[in-house]
Chains A and B, each alone.
Chain A
Amino acid sequence: MIALNAIRHQQIFKAPWLRQLLFALLLLFDAYFGAIYNLGFVAGSGLFSGQFKWIVLSVEMMASGLILVRILVNQSPPKWKSPIIILTPILVGLIAFIVLEVLVSGLNRSATMNFNLSSILFSGLYWSAVYLSIAIGLTLTYKVQRFANFAQAEMMLVGSYVALTLMWSDSFFSISDAPVDGNINWTLLIWASICAFVVTGFAGLLIDRLVFRRLRNKAATPQVMMIASLGVSMVLRAVLFMRFSASTFRFVPDRDWRLTTSIVDIPTGLLKLNLGDRVTKPLMEFSANVDPYGFAYSKIALVLGIFLAVIFLILLLQKTRLGRQMRAVADNPDLAASSGIHLEHVHRSTSFLSAGIAGFGGSLLAGILPINPELGLMLLLPAFAVIVLGSIGSIPGVLIGALIVGGLRAFSEPVLIGAGNALDRPTASGFAEVMPFIFLVGLLLLAPRGIGSAIENWNIDRIRKRRMKEEITTLPVDPVGKEFTSRISARNKNPIHYFELTAERINTTIQLSKRSTAQSWNFINHHMLRMAKISEPVFAFIDSLFSVLRSKIGSLFSVRRDTERGSWTLFAILFLVLLTIVLLLPSVSVLTKTLQVARIFTLVGIFGLAAFSLNLHTGITGMTNFGVIFFVGIGAVVVGLLSAPVETNGYGWNPIAATIAAVIIAAIAGWLLAYPTARLRMDYFAILTISLAEILRISLQAEPLLRAGTVTSGIGISQFARPFEDWWNGSPSEAVGNLIGLPGNAPYVVLLAFMAIGFTAGVWYLLNTILSSPWGRILRSIREDEAVSQHHGHNVLIHKAASLALGAAIAALAGALWAWLNTNIWPDFMNPVRTTFLIWAAYIVGGRGNNRGMIIGAFIIVIVEFVFNVMVVSRGSASLPFHGLTSFLDSVFSWLMINVGGLVWSDRSVNEIFAHGNVLLSLPHLKLALVGLVIISALLMSSRGLLPEVASRPKRPALVGGVLDGDALSNSSAEGQNQLQNFEGKGK
């Protein structure tokens, strides 16, 4: 007995995985009994009721399943580890089914899911191809140039629009416009895809030369490159919007392509899955007697084209000289350079190829979907999920990742429809869109390095083992003789002979395609080099322009920005300039001006707080957070839901209490996020956070519990109470109204502006205090080198978690302010493209690591919006400011479109977009382009932003040459700088 206890205490419970196992089993049983018998902690305690109970139960069960899989992955013998990781998607899927079954039967309902096998298979292939068209280029750039290129989605769209422009050209329009005649015409499709490949490729080359090469030369970090690509994507998207408008267009290679009869009939079977009802219905029914599934020709073209492109790329990488060079640069650029590989040449080829393939995919995609410039964004995030699943940078991995994500997408649709209809959530099928992200989040928790690396490890393992075996068993034989004997024996056995022959043929085909790949690439490359040579003077000119500009601007800001005093001075100057612009903004009356100024200050407060949060996460702690809006969203949604009236699905809380709850919930979410993500690489963390934001956005659309404010539970949260509103509407608003000189009472937004200023100032002070404490230095040390600070005895995980929690709480406060300003919350406010990237722009332009910069950045972002709005509306009336400027811009744009562009494209391609040749410049998109340009040029001029981080260091004892402290440094001597650099070490 004693011995048994000893064993139990000393051995079993010392192994953490056994404790985890016990915990998981406890959760599993609790959830199971809760669902079926209404017993256990969750169901029986009465803490949760109604729909919440069921949600908590399913989360509990899912969590237990995930922990079990995780134990399986961690505890499996090394031999089995990789295959198990590769199998995890299937395991996770199975767990999801079991959870659904228990849930549905617990609710005494039944769910029917119809799996049409061919439909799922081919729809899966279609989605894979769609995602791959962006993901291949993304992977290639990632592999060789080591950054995530956000502009890839826009490159794909460039290809689509090249196809459209070709279709509208005089020589091809007759093909596209020809009446239906029953014959499929390939001409336009083939030309369009070739042109799209070449044109987009050169566009990629140009962008690489203009932006990324400069950054490479400055040895910019991947993070900086990623943000620069964000700017590039904004500019490209804006240009596409201005040129092709927001309307959708279809690429019709020939009308016969798009007929509903232009399909291939594929025989299929219907698998019916009945969940929840174990008495009257069988679990599975299969019927092969169903109509065939029709797969459209245009989709076949896309699937074939994209998969061939991937094979081409794999061949190129494996078999050609350039491919070897690319892999060498990917592995170790310095070593590659020293062994004589021309790095720039490789980068050039990479950018041409990655853009070109995306453009090629875009031209094929345009034949299926109506194209508009927003399309790229819809596909970019899933494409990121694909490359993360496939372990960023691995081409076979990305292929498998795309197949998994595409298959999952197609497979989840019937599951969600069946489950949604059974659980009173018909909108549940909206979640199909974010299934890749949900899956990704789950999988990263299990296999933090993605599936691709597991496959690679597995392969390496296999090969190593085979080699070892071969070394032991095979004696050296004459290879020719061996082959000869095997052939002889093969002839005697017919089937084997057949296989041999086939294998030989395949081999020859591969050899041939290898050769042709190499040759065609050489051809393209030759011309690319010539083009590069010819255009070199132009680039040299642009380069010199840039350097002149930089030196001019540098002399303007002759304040030493990296000292405390200089930073404050510049902050004050910039702030005053911005304030002047606010005062100069036109308005018609005191009331409207009051509303305007109050709105600007509230927005600056919101964006400033969000930027503080981003700065804490990314600028100080070094975790690239693309999910600021996730925490902001939590804040807004919790505040809105809790303080909405009870009769309209809310909870009727006091807004102050709701805000406190929101801040606490966001902080807990931030803290919890640290545990699974602490081990993730920078880019994985970025993708994970952006995925969370996307999941929350879709939940706002699809989950009825996240709706309040209308009796019929329409989408959105509205009608919630705002803090101090009743108090304000009493005497204070009147008093303030009199004070400002308003005709009536002051509107509530004035109070909100004061609250925003108060919150921002308070958080700023708090952050400054915290960050100048030792804890701030620990966070910075984690940013500089995680391993070293771990080595110094800091618990990195706890510090990261605390940083995430604090930042999340600040972001939630911004969310609360936002909800009050808008008076309602709709899913679109979480649009990652808009909000997240604007906050990022503020962060980059303002200056990383410096909270003063965050305020300036936020202020600039808000002011840009207002100034541009003045321009946007000015077109309507000659009496408005900027009217002359906009007419001038319109005429320039019109000249560019008709006279300059007319050299390239046909008049039809202009008239299709601008009715009656009335060419107008889309000003909102000009704003987008300028924001993008500001980001790019801010990074190119000084990648540290307007107000760079001020290195704070303790006062140091006197040196030999004199006193070296902060003040002495500001009138620094070269010697002092050197000392400083030595002091800072490798960090910078």
Chain B
Amino acid sequence: MRLMNKFCLLLTSVILAAFALGCGVLGGSETVKIGLLSPQTGPIAQYAPGFEDAGRVAIAELNAEHDGDYVFELIIGDSGCDGTQAATAAQTLIDSGVKAIVGAACSGATLGAIAVTAPAGVPMISYASTSPAISGADDNGHLFRVVPSDAQQAVALAAVASAAGVSKPAVLYMTNDYGAGLGDNFASNWSSDTCIQVGYDPAEGSYDASTLAQSVIDGGCDSVLLMSYATDGAAIMEALSAQGFSGQIIGADGIADAAFTESFTDASAVGGLIATRPRPGEDSNAKSSFEAAYATAGGADGAIYTGETYDAIKLVAAAVVSDPDGNLVNAINNTGVNYAGASGTHTFDANGDVLGTGYEVCQFDGTNFSCPRIWTADGGLAGN
């Protein structure tokens, strides 16, 4: 018994010592902690390095910009792409004194975390949750996101597909909230019949790209709508090319990036791909400058939603700076009006959603990547 007590004492003192060790006070300018929920473990862990790298780029720029006034710190927690784990991580972020949380990526994780952050009065901006469930969440105004809901992009994709003159498109999509949402919405916006619709789980080892490609060919489809991430999208396109498919392939923002070609061993398979992605602001060079900074910082390859992560962090910082002691939710709402970011121009509506300023339509011609056309909700498809 006595030993047991000693053990308790020892344990307690070790913990206390650890806290004491870690405690240090930073002097000088005001420190602002911004939390980032990143899916470091779980099904989309492979994209976590990209989110974190983009976040670090944003923080480095902010600290250079506000040198002397503010010190921004990025506190990264592991969302695990899971509601329970994300909520626990959000709790720890709040406990370490973050002003706002950027995240999470998976919609389930975002909705789990908001159940913790909203009662604590900490706003959250998701950088990758596209589920329609986010709009209706019971968040007391605390939940925002800088990615538009899938519904709009599906309309853009339908317009792009009919402009490309396809008649019997196969719809291949991931059975997660992003892919399934986009696929469902595309099918309901597409005027005539789709050829076949096929869902697959994007986790490696749970789908066979060549079977998917074969089903497109056997169905006699003349084109493919691909709602995928980069790695699985590349595998499917390679398989389509290997099986001799020559129809038009149209993708969404998961693969609409110049870096997409890096996912291929044989880049010839990517030629002719058309893909849509949220359109950056009219006169904004935020996108190109972010991409340059990301590349310089050695950001992870094959990453997704990096521009959105960067924007969300910069937006939080801008809101904090605009009104340091006021209500941060209001400040974010005020800052988020025509905010020109790397991933588009963001204006929050009453649900904290962004409507976006339409999409740009990009194409790969073997070696070059360019985005000559745009699509807007009012004007439809424009450009050449």
A270 adjacent to B133 (CB under 8 Å): no
A-B pairs with lowest CB-CB distance, top 8 = A826-B108, A426-B197, A246-B45, A915-B298, A876-B75, A747-B119, A881-B22, A378-B205
CB of B370 within 8 A of chain A?
no
Given contacts A576-B8, A821-B84, are A592 and B120 in contact (CB under 8 A)? yes
Q: Provide the bound-state CA to CA distance between A296 and B244, in Å.
A: 13
Task: Please give, as numbers and ranges, the residues of chain A lying within 8 Å of B42 by CB-CB distance.
Answer: 374, 828, 831, 834
B residues 245-280 in Cβ contact with A at 8 Å: 265-266, 268-269
Nearest chain B residue, comparing its CB with the CB of A865: B88
Task: Please give, as numbers and ranges, the residues of chain B lying within 8 Å of A873 by CB-CB distance.
Answer: 35, 75-77, 89, 92-93, 96
Known pairs A427-B199, A599-B91 / 17 extra A-B pairs, C-beta < 8 Å? A250-B265, A258-B266, A296-B242, A370-B204, A378-B203, A414-B218, A426-B198, A591-B120, A603-B84, A712-B151, A715-B131, A718-B137, A831-B43, A869-B91, A882-B21, A924-B40, A924-B78
A881 adjacent to B19 (CB under 8 Å): yes
CB of A364 within 8 A of chain B?
no
Given contacts A291-B244, A869-B78, A924-B40, are A374 and B199 in contact (CB under 8 A)? no
Q: Provide the bound-state CA to CA distance between A718 and B207, in Å.
A: 28
Contact of A829 among B7, B84, B116, B210 (CB under 8 A): B84
Contact of B19 among A250, A426, A584 (CB under 8 A): A584
Give the contact stretch, choosing among A122-130, A217-225, A849-857. A122-130
CB of B383 within 8 A of chain A?
no
Task: Please give, as numbers and ranges, the residues of chain B lying within 8 Å of A320 by CB-CB distance.
Answer: none
Q: Provide the bound-state CA to CA distance between A591 and B131, in Å.
A: 30
Give the contact stretch, choosing among B60-68, B175-183, B316-324, B330-338. B175-183
A715 adjacent to B208 (CB under 8 Å): no
Give the contact stretch, choosing among A184-192, A390-398, A428-436, A665-673. A428-436
Task: Please give, as numbers and ranges, the residues of chain B lying within 8 Å of A654 by CB-CB distance.
Answer: none
Given contacts A296-B242, A873-B76, are A824 and B266 in contact (CB under 8 A)? no
Task: Please give, as numbers and ranges, the residues of chain B lying within 8 Å of A507 by CB-CB distance.
Answer: none
Given contacts A296-B242, A556-B3, are A876 and B300 in contact (CB under 8 A)? no
* Most chain A beta-carbon contacts within 10 A, residue among B25, B84, B138, B207: B84
Contact of A372 among B16, B88, B204, B217 (CB under 8 A): B204
Q: Can you list 10 residue pairs at the A/B interface with Cβ under 8 Å? A: A246-B41, A255-B265, A369-B204, A374-B45, A709-B136, A823-B115, A826-B108, A834-B85, A870-B95, A879-B25
User: Nearest Cβ in chain B — how far from A287, in angstroms?
Assistant: 10
Contact of A294 among B8, B88, B242, B266 (CB under 8 A): B242
CB of B206 within 8 A of chain A?
yes
CB of B11 within 8 A of chain A?
yes
CB of A114 within 8 A of chain B?
yes
Which B residues have a C-beta under 8 Å from some C-beta of A? 1, 3-4, 7-8, 11-12, 15-16, 18-19, 21-26, 31, 33, 35, 40-43, 45-46, 48-49, 53, 73-78, 80-85, 87-89, 91-97, 106-108, 111-112, 114-116, 119-121, 131-133, 135-138, 151, 171, 175-177, 180-181, 183-185, 187, 196-201, 203-208, 210-211, 214-215, 217-219, 231, 235, 238, 241-244, 265-266, 268-269, 297-302
Contact of B76 among A241, A255, A875, A885 (CB under 8 A): A875
Task: Please give, as numbers and ranges, the residues of chain A lying within 8 Å of B19 by CB-CB distance.
Answer: 584, 586, 881-882
Task: Please give, as numbers and ranges, the residues of chain A lying within 8 Å of B85 by CB-CB distance.
Answer: 834, 865
Task: Please give, as numbers and ranges, the residues of chain B lying within 8 Å of A875 by CB-CB distance.
Answer: 76
Q: Provide the bound-state CA to CA distance between A833 and B301, in Å.
A: 27
Nearest chain B residue, comparing its CB with the CB of A606: B84
User: Nearest Cβ in chain B — how far from A970, in angstroms?
Assistant: 14
B93 adjacent to A883 (CB under 8 Å): no
Contact of B24 among A255, A258, A648, A883 (CB under 8 A): A883
Which A residues have a C-beta under 8 Å from some C-beta of B? 114, 116, 119, 123, 126-127, 130, 180, 241, 245-248, 250, 252, 255, 258-261, 263, 270, 290-291, 293-296, 369-372, 374-375, 378-379, 409-410, 413-414, 417, 420-421, 426-430, 432-433, 555-559, 569, 573, 576-577, 580-581, 584-588, 591-593, 595-596, 599, 603, 648, 698, 701-702, 709-716, 718-719, 747-749, 818, 821-829, 831, 834, 865-866, 869-870, 872-885, 915-916, 922-925, 928
Nearest chain B residue, comparing its CB with the CB of A299: B210
A829 adjacent to B83 (CB under 8 Å): yes
Task: Please give, as numbers and ranges, the residues of chain A lying within 8 Å of B33 by CB-CB distance.
Answer: 876-877
User: Nearest Cβ in chain B — how far from A573, in angstroms?
Assistant: 6
A588 adjacent to B95 (CB under 8 Å): yes
Q: Provide the bound-state CA to CA distance between A719 and B132, in Å.
A: 12
B211 adjacent to A882 (CB under 8 Å): no
Contact of B175 among A123, A260, A409, A427 (CB under 8 A): A427
B204 adjacent to A715 (CB under 8 Å): no
Q: Provide the bound-state CA to CA distance between A596 and B120, in Å.
A: 10
Nearest chain A residue, comparing its CB with the CB of B135: A710
Task: Please give, as numbers and ranges, the residues of chain B lying within 8 Å of A379 by CB-CB distance.
Answer: 205
Q: Provide the bound-state CA to CA distance between A911 and B98, in Å.
A: 32
Task: Please give, as numbers and ranges, the residues of chain B lying within 8 Å of A825 by CB-CB distance.
Answer: 83
Contact of B81 among A595, A715, A828, A869 (CB under 8 A): A828
Task: Please give, as numbers and ranges, the residues of chain B lying within 8 Å of A701 by CB-CB distance.
Answer: 175-176, 180, 201
Given contacts A255-B265, A712-B151, are A378 and B76 in contact (CB under 8 A)? no
User: Nearest Cβ in chain B — how far from A258, in angstroms?
Assistant: 4
Given contacts A716-B107, A877-B75, are A866 and B92 in contact (CB under 8 A)? yes
Q: Provide the bound-state CA to CA distance between A576 and B242, in Å.
A: 63
Total inter-chain residue pairs, C-beta < 8 Å: 365
User: Nearest Cβ in chain A — how far from B259, in angstroms?
Assistant: 14
Task: Please give, as numbers and ranges, the residues of chain B lying within 8 Å of A585 by CB-CB distance.
Answer: 95
Given contacts A414-B215, A702-B199, A928-B41, are A245 and B7 in contact (CB under 8 A)? no
Contact of B218 among A114, A581, A829, A866 (CB under 8 A): A114
User: Nearest Cβ in chain A — how far from B265, in angstroms?
Assistant: 4
B40 adjacent to A714 (CB under 8 Å): no
B132 adjacent to A712 (CB under 8 Å): yes
B82 adjacent to A828 (CB under 8 Å): yes
A252 adjacent to B265 (CB under 8 Å): yes
Task: Please give, as numbers and ranges, the residues of chain B lying within 8 Å of A421 by CB-CB distance.
Answer: 196-197
Given contacts A291-B243, A872-B76, are A123 and B211 in contact (CB under 8 A)? yes
A877 adjacent to B175 (CB under 8 Å): no
Task: Please give, as numbers and ranges, the residues of chain A lying within 8 Å of B197 by CB-CB distance.
Answer: 420-421, 426
Task: Please give, as numbers and ranges, the residues of chain B lying within 8 Å of A369 by CB-CB distance.
Answer: 204-205
Nearest chain B residue, comparing its CB with the CB of A376: B205
A116 adjacent to B22 (CB under 8 Å): no
A818 adjacent to B108 (CB under 8 Å): no
Task: Please give, as numbers and ranges, the residues of chain B lying within 8 Å of A870 by CB-CB distance.
Answer: 92, 95-96
A375 adjacent to B204 (CB under 8 Å): yes
Nearest chain B residue, comparing its CB with the CB of A126: B208
Q: Provide the bound-state CA to CA distance between A584 and B108, in Å.
A: 30
B46 adjacent to A247 (CB under 8 Å): yes
Task: Please give, as numbers and ranges, the residues of chain B lying within 8 Å of A866 by CB-CB distance.
Answer: 88, 91-92
Q: Provide the bound-state CA to CA distance between A713 and B151, in Å.
A: 12
Q: Provide the bound-state CA to CA distance between A557 and B24, in Å.
A: 36
User: Nearest Cβ in chain B — how far from A75, in angstroms?
Assistant: 38
Q: Provide the bound-state CA to CA distance between A588 and B107, in Å.
A: 27
A869 adjacent to B87 (CB under 8 Å): no
A869 adjacent to B265 (CB under 8 Å): no
A573 adjacent to B4 (CB under 8 Å): yes
Task: Please give, as numbers and ranges, the residues of chain A lying within 8 Å of B201 by CB-CB distance.
Answer: 430, 433, 698, 701
A712 adjacent to B185 (CB under 8 Å): yes
Q: Provide the bound-state CA to CA distance between A879 and B25, in Å.
A: 6
A119 adjacent to B76 (CB under 8 Å): no
Given contacts A584-B19, A876-B33, are A822 and B205 in contact (CB under 8 A)? no
A246 adjacent to B119 (CB under 8 Å): no
Contact of A370 among B75, B106, B108, B231 (CB under 8 A): B231
Task: Please give, as numbers and ranges, the residues of chain B lying within 8 Å of A916 by CB-CB distance.
Answer: 298
Contact of A573 among B8, B53, B151, B180 (CB under 8 A): B8
User: Nearest Cβ in chain B — how far from A562, in angstroms?
Assistant: 16
Task: Please give, as numbers and ranges, the residues of chain A lying within 8 Å of B115 by CB-CB distance.
Answer: 749, 821-823
Task: Please give, as numbers and ranges, the residues of chain A lying within 8 Å of B300 by CB-CB distance.
Answer: 247, 915
A577 adjacent to B26 (CB under 8 Å): no
